[in-house]
C-alpha cells in the first residue's frame, strides 16, 4: 500500500466544497493508496505530475520515494476548467 499525503492547499479546497463533492473527493483521495480512480499522467510543462478526476474536480499529485517507501502527495485541487493553468502558473513562481 502507498502512503497518501494531502497538502494544506488541497484540504482548504475540500473544506470550501458542498458536502456531496467533498465526500466524493475524500473517498477518491483515500483510494489513491491502492492507485484506484481515473488517474492520468500530465504532459508537457506538467510532466512528472498526475491528475485524479472526480466529476468536474481534479486533484494533481506526484509520486515520491521517502525513506524507501512510495508516497503520493496531493499538491493541488480545483475545478477542471482552470486547475491546469493555475497549477502551472504556481510552478513557475
Q: Give the pLDDT score at 91.
A: 84
Q: In angstroms, rounded to a whole number, what is the distance separating the alpha carbons of residues 14 and 75?
A: 13
CATH code assigned at 54 = 3.30.2310.20
**Spatial CB neighbours of 52, under 8 Å, sequence gap ≥ 6:** 28, 29, 32, 37, 38, 39, 58, 59, 61, 74
Residue that has been written with the C-alpha cell 488517474 in this structure: 39
Q: Give the pLDDT score at 14.
A: 96
Look up the pTM and report it.
Answer: 0.92
Give CA 67 to chain center in angstroms. Answer: 22
Instruction: Give the domain range for residue 29.
Output: 3-92
**CA geometry: angle 75, 4, 71, nearest 5 deg:** 90
Q: Give the pLDDT score at 51.
A: 97
Do the Cβ atoms of 74 and 5 come closer than 8 Å?
yes
Indicate the number of domains in the chain: 1
Mean pLDDT of residues grouped by 10 in the chain (93 residues)?
Answer: 94 96 97 96 93 96 94 95 89 81
Amino acid at each position: 500500500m502507498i502512503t497518501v499525503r494531502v497538502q494544506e492547499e488541497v484540504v482548504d479546497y475540500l473544506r470550501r466544497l458542498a458536502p456531496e463533492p467533498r465526500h466524493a473527493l475524500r473517498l477518491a483521495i483515500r483510494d489513491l493508496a491502492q492507485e484506484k480512480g481515473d488517474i492520468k499522467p500530465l504532459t508537457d510543462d506538467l510532466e512528472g505530475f498526475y491528475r485524479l478526476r472526480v466529476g468536474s474536480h481534479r486533484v494533481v499529485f506526484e509520486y515520491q520515494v521517502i525513506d524507501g517507501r512510495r508516497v503520493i502527495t496531493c499538491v493541488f485541487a480545483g475545478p477542471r476548467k482552470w486547475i491546469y493553468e493555475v497549477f502551472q502558473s504556481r510552478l513557475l513562481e
